[in-house]
Chains A and B, each alone.
Chain A
Amino acid sequence: MSLDAIQSILSSAVVLGSLYAIMAAGLALTWTTLGIFNFAHGALMMIGAYFAWQIGADAGFGLGVAAGMAIGVAALVGLGVVFERLVIRPFLGSRQVVLITVITTLAAMIFIQNSALLTWGPRMKQMPPVLPQGISVMGISFSAAELLIVIAAPVTLIALWLFLTRTRLGTAVRAVAQNPEAAALMGLNVSRLYSLAFAVSAGLAGFSGILLGSMRFITPTMGVEPLIKALVVVIFGGLGSLGGTIGAAYIIGFLEATSIYFIGLYWTPALLFLVIIVVLVIRPQGLFGKE
Chain B
Amino acid sequence: MSALLEVAGAVTGYGRTRVLHGLSLTLNEGRSLGVCGPNGHGKTTLMRAVSGLLRLWEGDVRFDGKSIARSAPQSIVEAGLIHVPQGNRLFPELSVAENLRLGAYSQRARPNEAENLERVFALFPKLKTRRSQKCRTLSGGERQMLSIGVGVMAQPRLLILDEPNLGLAPIVKEELGEAIQDIAERDITLILIEQDIEFIMSVTNHTLVVEQGEITVDTSIAGDMTHEEIVSRYFGENA
Give A contacts to B, CB under 8 Å: 168, 171-172, 174-175, 178-179, 181-190, 240
Contacts and interface: CB of A to CB of B under 8 A. Distances in A.
Contacts of A185: 51, 53, 73, 77, 82-85
Given A174-B93, A178-B91, A188 B85 contact: no
B94 A186 contact: no
B103 A186 contact: yes
Interface in B70-121: 72-74, 77-78, 82-85, 88-94, 98, 101-103, 105-106, 109
A179 B89 contact: yes
A21 to B, nearest CB: 21
A187 B74 CA distance: 4
Interface of B: 51-53, 72-74, 77-78, 82-85, 88-94, 98, 101-103, 105-106, 109, 150, 154
Contact of A168 (B52, B88, B89, B105): B105
A218 to B, nearest CB: 38
B105 A179 contact: no
Given A171-B98, A174-B93, 7 more contacts: A183-B91, A184-B73, A187-B73, A187-B78, A187-B105, A189-B72, A240-B93
B78, B82, B84, B102: most-surrounded residue (chain A CB, <10 A): B102
B106 A187 contact: yes
Nearest to B98: A171
State the 5 A-B residue pairs at the shortest beta-carbon distance, nearest first. Answer: A187-B77, A187-B106, A184-B73, A178-B91, A175-B91
Contacts of A186: 77, 102-103, 105-106, 150, 154
A182 B74 contact: no
B48 to A, nearest CB: 9
B interface majority secondary structure:
loop
B117 to A, nearest CB: 14
A182 B105 contact: no
A168 B88 CA distance: 21
Contacts of A182: 85, 88-91
Given A187-B73, A187-B74, A189-B74, A181 B85 contact: yes
21 contacts: A168-B101, A171-B94, A171-B101, A172-B102, A172-B105, A175-B94, A175-B98, A175-B102, A182-B85, A182-B88, A185-B83, A186-B103, A186-B105, A186-B106, A186-B150, A187-B73, A187-B74, A187-B78, A187-B106, A187-B154, A188-B74
Contacts of A174: 91, 93-94
A172 B77 CA distance: 15
Nearest to A175: B91
A186 B103 CA distance: 6
Contacts of A187: 73-74, 77-78, 105-106, 109, 154
A183 to B, nearest CB: 8
Nearest to B147: A182
Contacts of A190: 74
A188 B154 CA distance: 11
Contacts of A240: 93
A11 B73 CA distance: 51
Nearest to B92: A178
A161 to B, nearest CB: 15
